[in-house]
Amino acid sequence: MESTAAGFDLVIFDCDGVLVDSEIISASTLADNLTRIGFPVDLDYVNEHYLGRSFEVIDADHRRRSGRPLPKEFGDIWYGELFAAFRRELKPIAGVADVLRRLAIPKCVASSSTPARLMLALEVSGLAELCGSHVFDASMVRRGKPAPDLFLYCAERMGAAPTRTLVVEDSLAGIAAAVAAGMTAWAFVGGSHYGAGRDIDLLRRAGAARIFSSMTEFGLEGG
């Protein structure tokens, strides 16, 4: 099992919960907005069913359980509140800027977020410059996580073989996508959404080769 970035030609970082500590902000604003339209969910439900997934998954779940699509204005209202909260509260994951700065092998970002949300998160957290132009999102592929499409697209664009690619994820969907792509998956559980009671062993069973809770543990030797 790899314990450092040595041996890889590319590192793919998820954004939410890996680069930025956004999942609690996102989950709470989403739960509030869903409850407001008569679809009551709590943070546990949001984390279990939507963590690491695209907006289309939320809409599909709402259709399945309620028999109707989300209101047309739902996305705009939720994102308006979420973006305002990001500007007030969003912080980078502790130590991740140093990891991005020191990592010598190629790196990129692959997120299920919309392009606007992803760009805002990187800008507000001060990580945009460190990530550069190699930023990919779910709108670029047909299927989002847990399908492998986005990670395979990243590897192709970055010129790396999947077997030589490391993915750093925080969600079951992300770990499953990395494994399906034939990549090595590490699970990061240092975000604030990994509080007491979260079963991180699920990530191991999904295929995570390593689970770590602090970016100071991210090995940079050889890379």
pLDDT single digits (tens) 141-192:
999 999 999 999 999 999 999 999 999 999 999 999 999 999 999 999 999 8
Q: Please give the C-alpha separations between residue 145 and each of 62, 137, 150, in angstroms, as whole numbers.
A: 18, 10, 7
Within the chain, strands assigned E span 10-13, 107-111, 135-137, 165-169, 184-188, 210-212
- pLDDT at residue 1, rounded to an integer: 39
pLDDT band at 81 (very low <50, low <70, confident <90, very high): very high
Name the residue with higher pLDDT: 147 or 196.
147
CATH number attached to the domain at 10-21+91-217: 3.40.50.1000
Record the pTM: 0.88
pLDDT band at 200 (very low <50, low <70, confident <90, very high): confident
- What are the φ and ψ backbone dihedral angles of 174, each rounded to 5 degrees? -70, -40
Mean pLDDT on 128-137: 96
The fraction of the chain above a pLDDT of 90, given in percent, is 81
CA 153-79-27 angle, to 5 degrees, is: 80
Could you tell me which of 152, 200, 162, 201 has the C-alpha nearest to residue 182?
Answer: 162
Where does the chain hold its CATH 1.10.150.240 domain(s)?
A: 24-89
pLDDT band at 222 (very low <50, low <70, confident <90, very high): very low
Q: CA-to-CA distance for 191 and 181, rounded, in angstroms?
A: 24
pLDDT band at 221 (very low <50, low <70, confident <90, very high): very low
CB-CB contact of 30 with 75 (8 Å): no
The fraction of the chain above a pLDDT of 70, given in percent, is 95
Where does the chain hold its CATH 3.40.50.1000 domain(s)?
A: 10-21+91-217
CATH number attached to the domain at 24-89: 1.10.150.240
